[in-house]
A and B are shown apart, each in its own frame.
Chain A
């Protein structure tokens, strides 16, 4: 069946611009997670959605980062006023219990 999909696969932007990254989870999965993978920091948790509950935002590195999940399905991660240190691969995962299934990621490059 279809896995987790993410778009775009690659995004190049200029410092100071806003970007939106999209995640389509596996159908029926109630939980959705965003992670960031960078050379310096490894894999870091960003935010977690579970059903209709308030999201766990404890991993967001600054208030420039936000995410929403519409209709309990698709999620968008928004980074405002991008900085060069935001360059990383942003991974989305979904689950219905364990384990988490990961998408291919969006590679973000901030020039």
Chain B
């Protein structure tokens, strides 16, 4: 079965440090790829997406992710963490193109220390 793996259920960084959240998918067929963020007691908000074209995609709040087909990865990064980045982050894939249902990773909870 197709799956999404997020390495590390909990990541802690200091304010100003690099944020790196890892995501790998299982299929050799490149899916559409998404990162969503969920703040406490809120719904999911789209951070960024990759469908086709440029493999480095930029999203909101200074986040970016790079699609690497050879590694079946779509890791999320931000050069400098801010306290407001503390949230849970979900990587998701769609194999049905623009209308497919999403398969989610288990999520990574990001903590930011002052």
Contacts and interface: CB of A to CB of B under 8 A. Distances in A.
Interface of A: 4, 31, 33, 35, 42-45, 48, 50, 56, 59, 91, 93, 95, 97-105
Interface string B75-110: 000000000000000101010011101111111000
A interface: dominant SS: strand
Interface stretch (B12-20, B22-30, B39-47, B66-74): B39-47
Given A95-B98, A100-B46, 17 more contacts: A4-B43, A31-B99, A33-B101, A42-B105, A42-B107, A43-B102, A45-B101, A48-B101, A93-B44, A97-B99, A98-B98, A98-B99, A99-B46, A101-B46, A102-B45, A103-B43, A104-B42
Interface string B31-53: 01010100000111110010100
B105 A98 contact: no
Contacts of B106: 42
Contacts of B105: 42
24 contacts: A4-B43, A31-B99, A33-B101, A42-B104, A42-B105, A42-B106, A42-B107, A43-B90, A43-B92, A43-B102, A43-B107, A45-B101, A45-B103, A50-B99, A56-B101, A59-B101, A98-B32, A98-B51, A99-B46, A99-B49, A100-B46, A101-B46, A102-B45, A104-B42
B99 A104 contact: no
A96 B42 CA distance: 22
A102 B39 CA distance: 13
